[in-house]
Amino acid sequence: RILVAVKTLKKKTDVVVISLHMGIEMSTEPDKQLSMRVVKLVYSGTDIIACHHPHVIQPYIKNPSIKFFLKRT
């Protein structure tokens, strides 16, 4: 459902931003399942994806802008 929503939003907006609560807590690398989901979101038109749950910083990919996880403060 989210991929269809992204494609619909992409036609109506300049930028599509998604925030996801997922991942393995305290893991410094994203798991394969998360990485595959993020790639699908990018190909469906998402411009910025912020994933959060592990409470540690994970890799940042510049183009498109993907922050796998935000650090809990």
Show pLDDT as tens, one digit a residue, over the chain (73 residues).
889 999 999 999 999 998 888 878 888 877 888 878 888 888 889 888 887 777 877 776 655 555 555 555 4
What DSSP character marks residue 52? E
Question: Which tokens hold the place of 6?
Answer: 């992204």
Whole-structure pTM value: 0.69
What's the DSSP call for residue 57?
A: -
Say how far apart CA 1 and CA 60 lie, in whole Å: 26
Bridge partners of residue 60, in order along the sequence: 67
In this structure, the dihedral spanned by the alpha carbons of residues 3, 6, 8 and 14, taken in order and rounded to 10 degrees, is: -160
- CA 36 to chain CA centroid, Å, is 10
